[in-house]
Amino acid sequence: MNEEFIGALKEIVKEKGISEDLLFTTIEDALVAAYKKNYANSGVSSQNVRVSMNRETGEIHVYSQKTVVEEVYDDVIEISVEDAKDISPRYEVDDIVEIEVTPRTFGRVAAQLAKQVVVQRIKEAERNIVYNEFIEKEFDIITGTVIRRDKGNVFVDLGRIEAVLGPNEQMQGEDYIFNEKLKLYIVEVKNTTKGAQVIVSRTHPGLVKRLFELEVPEIYEGIVEVKSIAREAGSRTKIAVHSNDEAVDAMGACVGPKGIRVQNIVNELKNEKIDIIKWSKLPEEYIANSLSPAKVLDVSIDEDNKSAQVVVEDNQLSLAIGKEGQNVRLAAKLTGWKIDIKSVSQVSQ
């Protein structure tokens, strides 16, 4: 161990953000284990050893620790009061006396082991730094670059780490071209033995919500509130919004001047249709709004079963139900109500 090595250690501490005390303490603990392993037959108790490393010079000392006793039964772990007082008059019975037992050849073993510990600590510190960076972005949007595809998975470069976009998190109809930039929603960040694992999604409703928060200042500022989102990724999303300020039109704020705000989101989602719905605390009104773009004539609700019967004009029935039932399905998911739609003709039969 030498001053050059210690200087390098301190530089690593500064660069990697590792605690200096933690690093040196870990090295000392590892050196205790190394001493016990390599010098087990030295006549020193393997349980009562302390290693000290000078933080400035790297100089290492090994001490055998002995308990001061009136009568010695085991001279490996005990020392008499008389012998202890020969070392220092301050020693009394039950005190611990430290006697240096540093082997001549211990420096080489120590240096090799210290380097191993430092490398391990650097790896751990870097893993923790990456984890801490990404855990702050959990439930947020991040931009990644597509780097490859393999067995249905898309691998995305997030800068410090590579994330996997699994098949269930991929939007229908997206090609994921090499070097393409994508906005991704961070669903979860895990701290594993192999480092941080970031789970990302293009299908999560949270992606749409965060995109609206980025595009619509009124949402970010809390003036307009996103009450609910129902999404079938790659096809259609319904988002219910409410204004906390009577002077602000929630739907208008989300659409933006000449539709620019919502269009930016539609472009990012590769032309996924977005229905912006006005939320209402009145279930009948909220359910009617949720079936947009269809026009609703009447809504009857059954609060006990949380179900609603909706009546529309005959020419609005297919629009209200939607292709393959998508419109009513998303409306039910958005509102949390079971919705049964009938035309005027069907009701009058």
Are residues 64 and 83 located together in one domain of the fold? yes
Reported as type and span, the H/E element at residue 31 is: helix 20-38
Rg (CA), the chain: 34
Are residues 178 and 299 located together in one domain of the fold? no
| Contact indicator for 23, 118 with CB cutoff of 8 Å | yes
First to last CA, the chain: 95
pLDDT tens, position by position, 112-162: 777 787 778 778 878 888 899 999 999 999 999 999 999 999 999 999 899
- The CB-based long-range contact list for 83-90 (8 Å cut-off, 24+ gap) reads none
pLDDT tens, position by position, 2-48: 677 788 888 888 887 778 888 888 888 888 888 877 776 665 555 68
Are residues 67 and 89 located together in one domain of the fold? yes
| Contact indicator for 115, 122 with CB cutoff of 8 Å | no
Are residues 20 and 104 located together in one domain of the fold? yes
Whole-number Å distance between alpha carbons of 26 and 94: 28
Q: Give me the domain span that covers residue 226.
A: 204-279
Are residues 251 and 304 located together in one domain of the fold? no
Q: What CATH code is carried by the domain that includes residue 261?
A: 3.30.300.20
